Amino acid sequence: MGKENYVIGMDFGTDSVRSIIVNAANGKELAASVFYYPRWKAGRFCDPSESRYRQHPLDYIEGIEYTVKDCLNLAGPEVAAAVRSISVDTTGSTPIAVDKTGTPLGLLPGFEENPNALFVLWKDHTSTREAAEINAHATRYPVNYLQYVGGIYSSEWFWAKLLHILRVDESIRTACYSWVEHCDWVPFLLTGGTDVHRMKRGVCSAGHKALWAAEFGGLPPDSFFTELDPLLGGYTTRLFKDTYTADQAAGTISAAWAKRLGLPADVLVGVGAFDAHMGAVGGQIEPYYLSKVMGTSTCDMLVAPKADLEGTLVKGICGQVDGSVIPGMIGLEAGQSAFGDVYAWWRDVLMWPLRYVLPKTNLIAGGEINALQEEVSARLIAALTDAAAALPLSENDPLALDWLNGRRTPDANQEVKAALVGLDLSSDAPRLFKAWVEATCFGAKAIVDRFREEGVPVRGLIGLGGVARKSPYIMQVMADVMDMPIRIHRSEQTCALGAAMFAATVAGIYPKVEDAMAAMGPGFDKEFKPDARRVPVYAKRYRRYQSLGATTL
């Protein structure tokens, strides 16, 4: 056992952090642990009515310590002694204001309870005004600084969030020195970083969300930002010029964190990246196969050889960046702002009487009411799924538009709204759930259509994440709507596994991440093929979906 090499993959999702310990020789998972963010779970620092979603760095720090120590305890001391490296992925764009030492302001006295001093989660849409201003501002320049992010800047991204926070909070303007992405901060934390200028920023976050491009010599010039708003003056010099791919080391774990976690002192920490990008690697992505990480939202990744995309700039996606997924290839990102969140929202709508009417009854004891609420909530989506799957398919069924959290791709617009049409007195909960499922699949098809319209072929689909593995009904609808097979990856933790593959590459166990993918990937265990009887019906409904979307804009 002691001669083996082990690596840790750490995946920071929207609700929790997951860590796994993996045998680098074959990808076998020895231990896994999940930590749900307590402050986030309690709804602190968030206001859905304002689309404000913030997360406290302490949730992340506590999650690191809990999950890694739990994994090591499960795996045993011999495994702990043979851990070679750690790599992390996070949601994004999820930036935070920091001081010159790289410490998040939310960890400093006086800022602990200030939402503006915390991580601005990917789904936070408080900066729609700023994003619109960036888009209008960019048209005035001879150089198109938005050309590598699909031509449209999103309120989900770095600069829009940074500018919004600076505008609304004078205390942050005064105290902050720079801004960092979550995926860049965690490796900096684990390596004991004390100077933000020495933080190794990943090309993944920089290229897809912060307008960094090698063709620009780095970030756009300071004048681009100061002419947008003087508050942005000087930030380019306090951010970064160089970026790094995730197969490189951010550094060696600090003595303090090695002791705190119970790891060897020579453990390497890899450069961080976003969850979907590492998840695509964990899911064994292939050129021109769209890797769909399906969770609360979706992130759709595609990789292509650089020579193939020479001169091609895909409009309306979330960027194309050299090395953001697999070093040496172009990574293209798209996605939907809400996917699993659509189903969770519908569940919560249906739960309203149980949450607010049932507690007023005298027929059931208080403790039983709570237990009943939780049991129904836990079973509701599965019950809706079974009922929806049993319904017949008709061209004239109720139709939904899935933009409950805005639209990410194609053509980012976080101000558009969802819709539900074609209702009558027979439109019960399962029928409407069916409409929402179809809408999320239609939204996925719009992404594939955009790639193809722009000259980038999509040869197949790879399904990753909780929805892909847990809902055969949704995946069958996806295959029928797309009229393409979708393979489901065997791993239930593809993002954490992808991080582990990068960790193995960082440690030098494999010369490149493709070799780690081949050795450590468990492959696929399911495939959903289109039903020829349903494909033409969905094609007609998709055209109606497109028409509905056009009328709501």
Q: Is residue 393 over pLDDT 80?
A: yes
User: At 101, is the secondary structure helix, strand, or coil?
Assistant: coil
Q: How far apart are CA 20 and CA 85, in angstroms?
A: 12
CATH architecture classification, 340-490+526-552: 2-Layer Sandwich (3.30)
Provide the token pair at 84: 């070679």
User: At 336, is the secondary structure helix, strand, or coil?
Assistant: strand
Q: DSSP string spanning 207-237?
A: HHHS--BGGGTBSPPHHHHHTT-GGGTTHHH
Contact 32, 73 (CB under 8 A): no
Q: pLDDT digits over 10-38, tens only?
A: 999 999 999 999 999 999 999 999 999 99
Residue matched to tokens 């642990």: 33
Section 494-498 average pLDDT: 96
Spatial CB neighbours of 461, under 8 Å, sequence gap ≥ 6: 289, 290, 292, 478, 479, 482, 484, 485, 486, 487
**pLDDT for res 295:** 86
User: At 417, is the secondary structure helix, strand, or coil?
Assistant: coil
Provide the token pair at 367: 């403790």
Section 308-335 average pLDDT: 95
Q: How far apart are CA 394 and CA 56, in angstroms?
A: 46
Q: How many residues are present in the chain?
A: 553
**pLDDT for res 1:** 38
Q: Is residue 546 over pLDDT 90?
A: yes
Section 341-354 average pLDDT: 96
Average pLDDT of the chain, as a whole number: 96
**pLDDT for res 112:** 97
Domain 6-283+493-522 -> CATH class: alpha beta
Comparing C-alpha atoms, which of 274, 271, 140, 146 is closest to residue 211?
146
Section 95-99 average pLDDT: 98
Q: Is residue 7 over pLDDT 50?
A: yes
Q: Is residue 356 over pLDDT 90?
A: yes
Comparing C-alpha atoms, which of 465, 474, 463, 467 is closest to residue 386?
474
Section 97-103 average pLDDT: 98
Section 433-438 average pLDDT: 98
Q: Is residue 551 over pLDDT 60?
A: yes
Comparing C-alpha atoms, which of 527, 38, 497 is closest to residue 284?
497
437 pLDDT band, cuts 50/70/90, is: very high
Q: Which stretches does DSSP call E strand in 404-551?
A: 419-421, 460-464, 486-489, 524-528
438 pLDDT band, cuts 50/70/90, is: very high
Residue ranges of the chain assigned to CATH 3.30.420.40 = 6-283+493-522, 340-490+526-552
Q: How many CB atoms lie within 10 A of CB 170?
A: 9
User: At 37, is the secondary structure helix, strand, or coil?
Assistant: coil
Amino acid identity, residue 445? K
Query: Cis bond leading into 377, ω under 30°?
Result: no
Query: Cis bond leading into 398, ω under 30°?
Result: no
Contact 241, 219 (CB under 8 A): yes
Distances (CA, A) of 285 to 483, 502, 508: 20, 14, 21
419-421/273-274 β-pairing: unpaired
Q: Is residue 2 over pLDDT 80?
A: no
Q: What is the greatest pairwise CA distance in the chain?
A: 71
Q: How many CB atoms lie within 10 A of CB 312?
A: 13
Q: What share of the chain has pLDDT > 90, as a percent? A: 94
Q: Print the SS3 string covering 331-349.
A: EEEEEECCCHHHHHHHHHH
For the purposes of burial, counting CB atoms within 10 Å of the CB of 365, is it exposed (0-12), middle (13-18) or buried (19 or more)? exposed
- DSSP designation for 272: P
Q: How far apart are CA 309 and CA 389, in angstroms?
A: 40
Q: How many CB atoms lie within 10 A of CB 478?
A: 27
**pLDDT for res 381:** 96
Contact 277, 263 (CB under 8 A): no
Q: pLDDT digits over 121-131, tens only?
A: 999 999 999 99
Contact 273, 185 (CB under 8 A): no
Alpha helices in 126-283 (DSSP H): 128-138, 158-168, 170-175, 182-190, 203-209, 222-226, 235-238, 255-261, 275-282
